[in-house]
Structure 1
Amino acid sequence: MVWALVCLLFVAATPAFSQNSEALRISGATTIQPLVEQLAEEFREGTGRTVRVQGGGSLTGVVDAMEGTSQIGMVSRALSEEEKERLEYVTIGLDVLVVIVNSRNPLREVDKQTVIDLFTGRITNWSELTAWDREVVLVNKEMGRSTLELFEEYSGVHHRGSPTEGPNGRVAPQAYEIASNLDGATLVGGIPGAVGYMSLGTSLYLLDKGMPIKILVLNGHDPTTENVISSGYPIVRELNLVYLKSNEPDVRAFLDFCLGPRGREVVREFRYLLVD
């Protein structure tokens, strides 16, 4: 009798979603994929519900959520007005875009014009900026990635495949093209003359793991300081999870976990900034 009562209380205290054998599907921005994978694993351990997470980029996250391919999309940028009309969203953190070089590069900081000159191919050797004689190797994001969109908006330099040329031109054709932040950090860390741009949170996380990259001061702002937002750092973005209103009963528990005390702690562990 006592055991039956214990079982009854356990079932009553267990959220209904743990009884749902269907996995919760999440897709989108690779910038926050490792963070969401960690949150998903802890959520599974606490509830018993499986969460499957895959990348593809922010655009994929938006489209998958709209079409119902995934119940939740990961989007590492602010949403457009049209997207806000069609999707619900929660902001789980903030990130900034940083310029990175190989750890052997003596350069410490760049300004906006130097970034433009590097990525358009006007500067081809680091000796034009430092005493280091090494060819510049560009690492650029592929189209459809929100990191690229932020870079284009800041620099005015558009992807070579973009239908329109940017106000400051296009990325030089010899640039390597990559998908994820990890791809970019691996290339920059492995090629002494390489330069790229990526998430600050991911950069700091990979630096902690020993990735041989360096984060540059941009326009006089050091992105590794605690007051990066209030200091006026020029490239800040939201980290969002999007979903259809009709899916809210199915996703609410996971979203509440992400926004709760442990979720916020995980966001900090991955070196992203919390939303007040």
Structure 2
Amino acid sequence: MKLLNKFSVLALSAVLLFGGAAATEAKSTLKGKITINGSTALLPLTLQATKEFKKLHPGVSIAASGKGSVTGPQAVKKGIADIGACDWDASVDVPGFKKFDGQVANKVAVIPFAAVVNKNVKVDNLTTAQIKGIFTGKITNWKEVGGADADIVVINRSFGSGTRVNFQMKAMDGVETVKKESNYKEVGSSGDMKTNVSSTPNAIGYIDLVYVSSDLKAVKINNVEPTTDNVINGSYKVWSYGYYMTKGQPTGATKAFIEYVQSKQFQDSSLKKMKFIPISAMDK
């Protein structure tokens, strides 16, 4: 009887093993090629999702790059990308950018943004008025906002950045940043922003929360710390949805990839670990 039970267990194990293999094989029948371009704020999410999705669907090849939000829908319009990652809904007009007709905005994440300073800066909090003053050139010394007597170095994102669009709209009440002749620099990506602020004494910039690490400091805005919890509870206002723009409704491998990024499996695991926020947390 004991021998029979052992055979039963072995048989059941074999069924589970081969059943699981069959399920995996079923998942891997999808084939195709996906090209993704656009937002550098969303790039860490895209790269992580790509890694996970390709394990499930090895027959799908994915090429992902980031050059700024506006390049995403532009690449989709030109037919050189299947997905345009963008930090705003590019299917409607936003300040500075006309809508991209015929494109569908697929919501994939909530992106918190933060004002960041070099670690030598002793300021921990800035008001909306102070941020506007700094980025419009009216405030030029840290002592004017409670810091040391040192010239402020402004690091800005170049035109076309979704992070720039959202920071201006949410942290500066829609006021445009102003170029200065000195102590001013523009950079083309979130990675470049992090490098420049962390390596430039007295610098200030802004970046999405996923890029914030110990080599720079995120400051409070209006005494509210930039955290995912504060975004969810409504006290921190500098955030946006991230979108995957497609030409019409997505199909095939592109549709499957977007659905994976939107899935509870990805949203509640990898996405949250990277300091993005699941779309379900705000879509209530």
Give the TM-score normalised by the residue count of structure 2. 0.80
1:136-193 CA deviation, whole Å, 9 max, x = no partner? Answer: 100001011111112333424424xxxxxxxxxx243431100111111111111120
Question: How far did residue 10 of structure 1 move?
Answer: 7.8
Q: Which moved more, 1:48-57 or 1:241-250?
A: 241-250
Letter in 1 for 2:154: L
Question: Does structure 1 residue 267 correspond to structure 2 residue 271?
Answer: yes
- Which runs of no fewer than 5 residues in structure 2 stay unpaired? 1-17, 94-98
Which of residues 58, 65, 81 is equivalent to 2:76?
Answer: 65
Change in 2 beyond 3 A, CA 1:245/1:15: farther
Which of residues 49, 62, 71 is equivalent to 1:39?
Answer: 49
Alignment of structure 1 residues 108-187 onto 2, 5 Å: 108-154=124-170, 155=172, 156-159=174-177, 170-174=178-182, 175-187=184-196
Moved over 4 A (4+): 9-12, 82-85
The answer to whether the 8 Å contact 2:29/2:57 transfers is no
Larger Rg: 2
RMSD: 2.5
Residues of 2 paired with 1:10 and 1:232: CA distance?
A: 44
Question: Does structure 1 residue 251 correspond to structure 2 residue 261?
Answer: no
Letter in 2 for 1:38: Q
Letter in 2 for 1:254: F
The number of residue pairs the alignment matches comes to 252
Question: How far did residue 14 of structure 1 move?
Answer: 4.2
The answer to whether the 8 Å contact 1:78/1:237 transfers is no
Give the TM-score normalised by the residue count of structure 1. 0.82
1:108-141 CA deviation, whole Å, 9 max, x = no partner? Answer: 1000111121122222221222352322100001
- Matched position secondary structure for 1:92: strand
- Percentage of matched positions with identical amino acids: 23
The answer to whether the 8 Å contact 1:28/1:61 transfers is yes
- Matched position secondary structure for 1:258: helix
- Which runs of no fewer than 5 residues in structure 1 stay unpaired? 160-169
Change in 2 beyond 3 A, CA 1:113/1:46: same
Residues of 2 paired with 1:150 and 1:186: CA distance?
A: 20
Letter in 1 for 2:128: K
Which of residues 106, 121, 124 is equivalent to 1:105?
Answer: 121
The answer to whether the 8 Å contact 1:150/1:235 transfers is yes
